[in-house]
Every structure is written in C-alpha cells, then in structure tokens.
Structure 1
Amino acid sequence: MSLFSRRLVRRLGFFTVLSTAAALTLTACSDDSPGTSDNAANSSISINGTASTIVENWNPFSPTQLQPTLGVIHEALYYYNLASDVPPRPMLATAYSWDAAGKQLTITTREGVKWSDGQPFTARDVAFTFELIRKNKAINGSGLALTSAKATDDKTVVLTFPTTSFTTEPGILGNTAIIPEHVWSKISDPAKTTNPNPVGTGPYKLKSLNAQGFVMEKNPNYWQPGKPQIQTVRYITLATADAASAALTAGQVDWMSSYIPNLDKIISGHKNLAYVNTPALTASIFTCSNAAMGCKGPQTDRAVRQAMYHALNRDQLNKLAGGGFAGTASPTLLLPDRDQKWIADPAHLRTPGGPDVAKANQILDAAGWVRGADGIRSKGGERLSMRIQTVTGWSDFISLNDAMAQQFKEVGIELKPTQLSSNEWNNNQVQGKFQLSLDSIGLGASSNPYFTYNGRYTSATTAKVGESAGTSGNYARYSNPTVDQAVAAAGATNDENVQKQHYATIQAQIVQDLPYIPIYLNSTLTQFNTSRATGWPTNDNKYAFPATWKSWDSGIVLTSLKPAG
C-alpha cells in the first residue's frame, strides 16, 4: 500500500488487507473470476482493494462503508477530479447557480436517469437527501448548515443557507451521495443502517458478497449510454508487496494501488502491465509552532523552522525514502502542477531539491543560535534538539527521519526520531503534544486553496496544547490574524480573481512562518493489467485519480474502461 493510501486509511477508515491465499483462491475458484474472453458480454476484471474482514455496509453516510459505495453504486451531482485542474463534470446535475449573497444554491438535475431498481430519479430525491442530512446530525459529517432543501419541480432543487456558503459548493456537489427517497424514507435510522440491498444510480450494483470478497455487476439502468462496458468487477485483497507483485505479473489482478519495489523493472518485463504515479499528498514536518498556544521547544522559533526548510536535501530523501517516485512540493502547500494558477509568487512554486547549508547557517547565526563543542547549537541555555514522531512500521517515514537527522546535524540541529503506535501518534498531533511530527497534507475538497488553508492554517481550526484540534485541523497550533482575515475573505466570494489576491496574502505569510515544513509529494502508485481492459488513466491523461480506494473516482475509471481486443 502506498504512503498516500496509508494516510487516507488512517483518516477516513477505508480498508486494510487480507491473506494472499484467500484472495487468490477466491479469484481462481469463483465462477465470476476474470477470464480471457474479449467478448464484452463476458468481460470481467479484478480489483485489489477491500476490507480485511468483509462486513457488509453500503451506507454512503457511514465511515466504514465498503469501497464501491461512493462512485460505483451511489453518485454525486458533479465529479471533482482532484488529479487535474479541470472544471467539475456534471453527473446527476447539469447546472447550478448561486444567488449574489451566497445563501441560495439552485441545482438543475439530469433528466432520464433511473435508479438501479428501475424507479425514476428526480430532483425530489436530491431534496430528500439534503433534508435527511439536515435533520440527522449523525450523518452530517461535514457539519453542513442548511435552512432548507426543496424541489420546486422534477428537475430543480433549491438549497437555502443561513449564511454565505460559497465554500460548501464542492462538498454539496461533489462529495454527497444522492439516495433514493422511495428506499431511504423507510429507513428509521440512516446512521445505523448497513443498506444491505443498495439502490443507486451508479454504473454497478451488488451481485454477491461473502466473507472473502464481493462482486459487482453492470447496472442495466445506468444513465450513460453504452456504459459500463465491463460487465462484472470482483474486489479481492492482497497482503504484502510481494503478494501484490506476484498477482500482478501472474495476471490475477487487473487494478491495484500498491507500493511495489523495483516496479519499473517488473513492468518492463510484461507487455500487458502499466502503472501511473500521481503524487498528491505533501509529506511534511508538522511543527507545534506556537508558544502562545502552549507549544514548547526550539521549533517555536520561526528561524529554526526556516533553517530546517533550507537544510533539507530533498533529492537525497526522495532516493532514500521515496523510491525516486516522489514529486516536488511547494512551500505554499499546494500542488505545483495542478495548482499553479493559485500560486502567486513563481519563487514559491517548488521547493529546492538540494540543501542550502550556508543559508540555513546564516539564519540560525542571526537568530542567536550558537554552536557548542559537539556541533549542536544552543540559545539562552536551550539546546537546539527536537524530537520527531512517526508511526512504527512506516518504513519510508522512518527512513526520512534517519536521513534528516544527518542533514540537520550539518547546520547544528539535533533531531531525535521516535516511533509510536498510530493511535498515540495521532492523539499527540490532535492534542498538540509533540514538537515535530511526520504526516502529510492532502488534496482538500477541491483544487481551490481555501480547503487547504482553512483547515491547516486558521485559528478557528486549532486549539491550545492539550485540547483537540479536530480530526484534520491545524495541528501546528498556527495563529496569524492576517491569514485568518484573508481566508475568511476568500471564503466569502466565488470570484477567483479576488480569491487569488487573498491567497497571495496567505502565501506570503506561511512561506515565512513555515508551521508545516514541506519535504516532497508522496507517490501514489497504481498498476494496471491491460490484457482484459483498456482505457486506464495514464500520466498524460489523468482523467481521474486512479487509486483503487479513491471514492468517486473509481466509478469514473470503471465507466471509462473497454474490454481488451
């Protein structure tokens, strides 16, 4: 499993792994296992990606839902491709518009759509979905504030909000599964149901499920003409990188997202194998940066954080820990390729590959950090020594810590790596009980920087040390009134030119303050077997984020595939 997928597993509770023997036995023995026929009527593929213990749950509001729930069974109003800077694609909606105040969103729904049970889909299903969320706090995971959701006719929905709500747009349009009123109106507790007979508008519906895996089959009522062309999709699991490599080269799995050592060498020996790398999460040193919020240690000195930024030899770290697959990060914490239009200063587009030891030393000298006899600096009796936490077993991050300890030593900084259980590591970040921590900053709800900056940098999303900063908030305890004001102003408008001005203000602050010190973009490696299906995403055509575990995107990929031959 890639580092990227590990982060999403931890944050969103997706899936772990099963035994190789069980997975391969399932593939080999089932009547639904992929064959080699080029006949579209019999086309079938296998995907590596499901839960270690299959517990049936197709509830789109549940954090423990099975992987195909979002995008394969249930669809959203629009699809947001976070792998590219492209407009959202209409799905169950064809148009939307805000009023000038940002308090009313009008949505036009697609006509001619049917649910997988043959019942017609209308705007009333959309209104019902959002009313259900509004009335049930337990399924309102995003904290969406709605006054009402009403269908004014069969193809028009009006959502009304108590305050300006432009920034809710991606969550509403792209991250809310629309459910059928005729099914869910009969469910007494929408938070607790496992939705055992899921009815959706997506390209596939459930065919069979047992303790080892499950099979999806084509939805004959799917609204996109001629899609999907692959008839059945089997979800299996593989336990280790060796097992994944063996299954891929043996043709026993068609789509997987795993870190496989020597991947280029393995791929080069098999004409039907391909892969795509979509670096997207910024691996960073999280710092408990704010002494006023209770943080303690040299990392509360901005000069120390700046020196660390310049002392990193990122090219070396990529070779040692990233396998050479990592991408270049930006000190703005945005993605340099996808988000270039949002990065105001070209000098902040990418982090340097090599270190600038002279600059790091100059910064520390000017800040009064003096080298001792052992080469480690101190100031006012405080030694420039910090602990950095990571999770036991995260071998790539452990390698990063070991290498960074040597790099920082060159400029007089002592780094002390420590390994913790994932729960303790996570709790420390949430509570602010750390000096430095290795983690990654993700994609956000859309490519708009608001969803990175509001979560990671605003005073409203943090808390004093010892108090919870939420599940994915401002763990650095960073507080800057200039940033707070700019984020709020950007969120109060949907004019991109105005937003860019505010983001420029934010970036000017955070690239100096560096509460999160970027290292590189983690690789996300996804492998394909093209002998049974073609049309997979490529490095040149990232029409979807290709990882098997990515919600919403998996439905886009499956509807883009064609039987090989």
Structure 2
Amino acid sequence: MWDILTRRGRRPRAVVAAAAALTLVVAGCSGDGGSKANGGDKAANSSITIFNGSTGTIVEQWNPFIPNFLQPTNGLIYEPLYYYNFASTADPQPLLATAYAWDAAGKVLTITTRDGVTWSDGQPFSAKDVAYTFELIRKTPAINATGLKLVSSVAKDDKTAVLTFEKPSFTDEASVIGNTPIVAQHVWEKITDPTKSINPNPVGTGPYKLKTFSAQSYVMEKNATYWQQGKPKIQNVRYIALATADAASAALTAGQVDWMSSFLPGLDQLIKNQKNLTYVNTPALTTSIFTCASADLGCKGPQTDTAVRQAIYWALNRDQLNKLAGGGFAETASPTMLLPERDKAWIADPANLTTPGGPDVAKANQLLDVAGWAKGGDGIRAKGGEKLSLTIQTVTGWSDYISLNDAMTQQLKEIGIELKPTQVAWQEWNNNQVQGKFQLSLDSIGLGASTNPYSTYLKYSSTTTAKVGEAAGLSGNYARYKNAKVDAAVAVAAGTNDETVQKQQYTVIQQEIVKDLPYIPIYVNSMLTEFSTANATGWPTNDNKYALPATWKQWDNGIVLSTIEPAK
C-alpha cells in the first residue's frame, strides 16, 4: 500500500569517494550471497550483491503494511495482483490476478485470481487470500495507507474475490490491484496486531524468500516453488549496508556491488574504464519547492502571496541548476507536475508542457512590482513592513539539494528575494512538512500507483490537507493549498473511469495550479541506477526499460531480479 516512488523513497546522494575510503559493514562478499559464484553450476551458485542505501545498522522489518519495511519485502517476497511499469505506458501486467472488472457504478470490483500459485511454505494461494488481505485492511485503519473506502471483501470461490466500496472508486483501481501486497490468510490470521509485528518469518508468493538476516546484511534465496516457471535464475541476493553513503562509488568500482541506485557526480568518468559497469537514468520525480501556501490554513510568510510564488518560478535558471546540482542528468519538468514525455497526452495546454530553461528576470520583477513588493536599500524587497525573506529547509546530507539551495539563493537575490537555506535531520524535515511548519521546503513530487494523473492531483485537494499544526492527509497536500475549483475537479475525476471526462477535469486543475504554483517545479530529478555485468546480465537499459530499475522501488525490484540471469 505504500508507494515508495515518493519523497519517502528517495535514493542516497553519494559523492565520489576514493577506493581507500570504502568500508563495507558486511565482512566480505563471498560464500552464499557474495558477488562471486564459487564454481559448480552457474545458476545453483549464482549470487549478486545490492546496495539500496542502507547505512549503519539494518533494522529487521518484513511487515508489508508498515512504512519502514525492508525494501525486498514488496516485490521479492510479496506480490500485488498486477504490476505497473512507471517507465512505460504499457497496460498493467497480470501477476496474482488474471482479470478484473468493475460494475457500472464503480463500487464493486470483481477479481479473478491465478491458478497454480503456492505460498513459499507450500500452501496453496487462492482468492480467499485476496479477500482476507483487503478485509484486514478494511478492519485496520492504521494499515489502510491509501484510505480505501471498503464496505466488504469476500471470496465467492477459490478463484473469485469481490470488493465492495462505499463510493465510486475507479481512480483507486491502481492502488487496489497494483499497490497492495497480498498476504497469506493462514499466516496473518495468527498475527495479533498487524500494525506492530515485524513478521520475522515472511511467507509470500514472490520470487525470493528470506534466507539469513543480520544487522549488517541479509540474504534472499530463490523461491523454488515460484509460480513463474524458470524464474528467478539468480540463486542468492545479498543486501548490504555501507558505513556511509559516500562509500557507494568506491564499492561499485571495487566490484563489491552489482546493483545500486545513487547519484554519483562525474558518473561517466567514474565508470569510463570499467568494462563491467553501466547505468541507466529513469527520471520520474519532479524536484520542487514546496510552499506553505494558504494563509487561511495558517501559513505565514511572503510565500502565501501568489505573486511571490510566480516570481520564483520565472526567476529560476533551471539549466544552470541542472548543471550545478543535477550533474546534467536531470530532465525538464512541467508546471502541471506531470512528466512531459510520458504524460504528454494528459497535458491540455502545449504552453504548459515544459518549464522554461533559463530565467525571465524581467517578468519576475514585474510580478513583484505589481504586487507591491518594493526593493529596499539592501536590494531585498519588502511590503507593509514585511521583508521578502524566505527560509527553505532540506535534509542534512542531501548534497544535490543543498547545492540547489545555494544556487537558488543567488538567482533569487537578483529579483530582490532573500532565500535562507537551512539543513535539518530527516525526521524534523518530514514532521515540518506533515504539520505545515515551514515556509519553503525542497522535496519531490512522487508518482501514484499508475500513470493516471489522479493521484498526483490529489496532492492539490484540500481533502488531503489540514491546518498548520495538524497532520496532512496520507496523499500529502503539504502545501496546504486550497482551491474550490481544484477540489471540485478532483471529486468529479474520482467518480468516473471515462478518460474524456477525467481529461476535462485535469484541464481545470492544470489551469489553476499553473497559476497558483503551491509546488514550484525545478526539474525532473535524475534517477541513476548503476549495474555490474560481471555476475549478472539482462539489466534494464535505456532501450529496454522493462521495469523502473531503482533498487529501492517496490514491485519493480521483483521484476528485475526475476529477469536477470547469471553472467556466462
């Protein structure tokens, strides 16, 4: 239920470190789960090592309903009914289900489950497990992360599960079939509190199962009874922790890691003479300035003025920001918060397809002049005794975002805005956004459970926010944005599966948010993933993005590890 293609799933921002600085927390990478196969049958002895951002001590958690679950939980151990590939516009791929259908009102969803699937403990899988999973979610609000309004969940027979919702739920389709881990009834009905169990002996239908665990590393081994015959082909997958994220590049070039997703400055030069190393870039998250926008909901500061937000939008030199902070790997964003290339069909006005690359300082100054913000002797504007000074928060150690703030400070000074960057611990940064206790915050807009814009635009609905000091909703309208036209359009889009109607409503939303800019887009941040072909081949490529390849991406991680093969 938890979508980690969001700010909560951000990848480590490693900087280049010398090989001598490499300090693996795990002692060596050999044996069952090390990078090198020790002779014998290739498949039987095959293994790879993954660094997915863990530093220091690893805390065991295999509960797929708890936000801090270990990343192999969803994808390797547990599977959804269907798989959505964010790297393409292809239809969802059937996994534990083979068909589904809504009734005309969009309140009843009938799911047909796959034959021949067994749980990793040998017990048969059926529609009863599907019905049980959603009933567990219905009865336990704390694990209902996407707020599904379920009335009931029943199994008509071993192949048919029927979900009934309180209201039309067409737009919840992807969350239901593509973003819900299906669990075994015979296991979970014995768990007293699903909100607290770490699920130490996980039983799933996925391609791998837990072999060993320690606070420094853990090993997943092939599920010999996996329903997709012949998959996976890699026997053991070891996940390691590094002493620091700075050691990531050294681990990669030293051959200690086969798969990782890290922002590595100078990546092309780093791997230039490494014949086994390659990478793919799959930008998907729009790096943005989150603003606490609504004075009516308790936001305070110049950023509550729409003209100020508009001026910031036009003053940014995004080409320069990409060069200085994005390593040249970032791609152009859209003020609609959709992806210009992938989502072009959903963007109504061609003028809003992309953000400007360079700044329009004259336009930014004009906006502030008209709004009454006058420059003082120090070059900083003021209005009614209030200085146009804004604090922007980011997380300590997020090096590319820190670089963004440094560069934006200089760019905004040109139009009379004082930007004051501050670095805080992740927990404080997160709490500030959830509670609305910030002026500006550097973050990224994540993607929803499918490529339909609904889940992105739900972040603009006042139904998913709250007054400053209260926690915003699960869908995260952290900007405290409130617009009656947007609220009405989101509600209409939620109640239909007619894409023509949805596009009409998204047009309204786009017109309003491009004007109001509660989230100010910078660029589509790079999503760099590095691979070694020394021990495995068949990784995603720029020409064949059969999955979003980030190591931390739930569901996709299972697709990738089911596809790769031992190197010959």
Q: What is the TM-score normalised by the length of structure 2? A: 0.92
1:345 aligns with 2:371: no
Report the CA distance between 1:20 and its aligned residue: 5.5
1:559 — aligned with what?
Answer: 562
**Residues 216-247 of structure 1, C-alpha deviations (whole Å, 9 max, x = no match):** 11111111121111111111122345522222
Q: Which of 195, 217, 223 is the aligned partner of 1:219?
A: 223
Report the CA distance between 1:10 and its aligned residue: 7.4
**Residues 498-541 of structure 1, C-alpha deviations (whole Å, 9 max, x = no match):** 10110011001110111111111121211100121111111222
Contact 1:275 1:527 in 2 (8 A): yes
1:67 aligns with 2:71: yes
Report the CA distance between 1:471 and its aligned residue: 5.5
2:16 — aligned with what?
Answer: none
1:209 aligns with 2:213: yes
1:261 — aligned with what?
Answer: 265
1:506 — aligned with what?
Answer: 509
Q: Which of 418, 440, 446 is the aligned partner of 1:442?
A: 446
- Structure 2 counterparts to residues 223-372 of structure 1, below 5 A: 223-372=227-376
Q: Distance in 1 between matches of 2:483 and 2:417?
A: 26
Contact 2:85 2:546 in 1 (8 A): yes
Contact 1:304 1:364 in 2 (8 A): yes
1:525 — aligned with what?
Answer: 528
Structure-2 change in CA distance of 1:373 and 1:242 (3 Å)? closer
1:385 aligns with 2:386: no
Structure-2 change in CA distance of 1:385 and 1:136 (3 Å)? closer
Q: Which of 488, 491, 494 is the aligned partner of 1:488?
A: 491
1:460 aligns with 2:463: yes
1:153 — aligned with what?
Answer: 157
SS at match of 1:275: strand
Structure-2 change in CA distance of 1:405 and 1:196 (3 Å)? closer
Gaps of 5+ in 1: 12-18
1:179 aligns with 2:183: yes
Q: Distance in 1 between matches of 2:66 and 2:433?
A: 24
SS at match of 1:72: helix
Q: Distance in 2 between matches of 1:472 and 1:95?
A: 27
Contact 2:60 2:198 in 1 (8 A): yes
1:166 aligns with 2:167: no
Contact 2:375 2:416 in 1 (8 A): yes
2:17 — aligned with what?
Answer: none
2:538 — aligned with what?
Answer: 535
Q: Distance in 1 between matches of 2:47 and 2:134?
A: 35
Structure-2 change in CA distance of 1:164 and 1:51 (3 Å)? farther
Q: What is the TM-score normalised by the length of structure 1? A: 0.93
Q: Distance in 2 between matches of 1:167 and 1:524?
A: 27
Query: Percent identical across equivalent pairs?
Result: 70
Structure-2 change in CA distance of 1:107 and 1:397 (3 Å)? same
Q: What is the one-letter code of the residue matched to 2:354?
A: R
More deviation, 284-293/427-436? 427-436
1:27 — aligned with what?
Answer: 29
1:410 aligns with 2:411: no
Structure-2 change in CA distance of 1:304 and 1:190 (3 Å)? closer
Structure-2 change in CA distance of 1:20 and 1:41 (3 Å)? same
Q: What is the one-letter code of the residue matched to 2:8?
A: L
**Residues 346-370 of structure 1, C-alpha deviations (whole Å, 9 max, x = no match):** 1111111111112112222222332
Contact 1:76 1:177 in 2 (8 A): yes
Q: Distance in 2 between matches of 1:422 and 1:532?
A: 35
Structure-2 change in CA distance of 1:193 and 1:387 (3 Å)? closer
Q: Distance in 2 between matches of 1:442 and 1:325?
A: 18
Structure-2 change in CA distance of 1:48 and 1:392 (3 Å)? closer
Report the CA distance between 1:328 and its aligned residue: 1.2
1:107 aligns with 2:108: no
How many residues of Structure 1 are paired with residues of Structure 2 in the alignment? Answer: 553
More deviation, 302-311/423-432? 423-432
Contact 2:80 2:96 in 1 (8 A): yes
Structure-2 change in CA distance of 1:215 and 1:425 (3 Å)? closer
Contact 1:286 1:517 in 2 (8 A): yes
Q: Distance in 1 between matches of 2:304 and 2:58?
A: 45
Structure-2 change in CA distance of 1:291 and 1:224 (3 Å)? same
Contact 1:330 1:351 in 2 (8 A): yes
1:16 — aligned with what?
Answer: none
2:86 — aligned with what?
Answer: 82
- Structure 2 counterparts to residues 470-481 of structure 1, below 5 A: 470=473, 473-481=476-484
1:41 — aligned with what?
Answer: 44
Contact 1:59 1:195 in 2 (8 A): yes
SS at match of 2:111: strand
Contact 1:257 1:526 in 2 (8 A): yes
SS at match of 1:526: strand
